[in-house]
Amino acid sequence: MRTVVLAFVSLAGWGTPLTAQPAPLGPQPADTGLTISLMTFGPGRQVWEQFGHNAIWVHDPADGTDAAYNYGLFDFHQQNFLLRFVRGQMWYWMDGFPAAAYARVYRRDNRSVWIQELDIPLERRVELRRFLEWNAQPEHRFYHYDYYRDNCSTRIRDALDRALDGRLRAATYSTPSHTTFRFHTQRLTANDPLVYTGLLIALGPGVDRPISAWDEAFLPMELRDRIAALRVPGADGRP
With contact defined as beta carbons under 8 Å apart, do 177 and 210 qualify? yes
pLDDT digits (tens, 9 = 90+) for 100-145: 999 889 888 889 999 999 999 999 999 999 999 999 999 999 999 8
| Domain contains 40 | yes
Residue 64: count other Cβ atoms within 10 Å of its Cβ: 8
- pTM for this prediction: 0.83
What per-residue string of b and e applies to 167-204 under the rule 16 or more CB within 10 Å gives b?
A: bbbebbeeeebebbbbbbbeebbeeeeebbebbbebbe
31 in a domain, yes or no?
yes
- Domain total for the chain? 1
How many angstroms from the chain centroid is the CA of residue 73? 12
Q: Is residue 237 in a domain?
A: no
* Residue 160 domain flag: yes
Residue 173 lies in a domain: yes
| Residue 238 maps to a domain | no
Residue 239 falls inside a structural domain: no
Task: List the chain pLDDT tens, one digit each, 239 residues.
Answer: 455 665 555 444 333 333 333 444 455 456 689 999 999 999 887 776 778 999 999 999 999 999 999 999 988 676 776 666 666 667 899 999 999 999 889 888 889 999 999 999 999 999 999 999 999 999 999 999 888 899 999 999 999 999 999 999 999 999 999 999 989 988 888 777 777 777 777 767 778 899 999 999 999 999 999 999 998 765 555 54
Using alpha carbons only, how large is the chain's radius of gyration in Å?
18
Over the stretch 139-169, which tens digit does the pLDDT of each residue have?
Answer: 999 999 888 899 999 999 999 999 999 999 9
Which residues pair with residue 53 across a beta bridge?
41
Whether residue 54 is contained in a domain is answered as yes
Domain limits at 100? 2-232
Instruction: Give, as one character, the DSSP assignment of residue 53.
Output: E
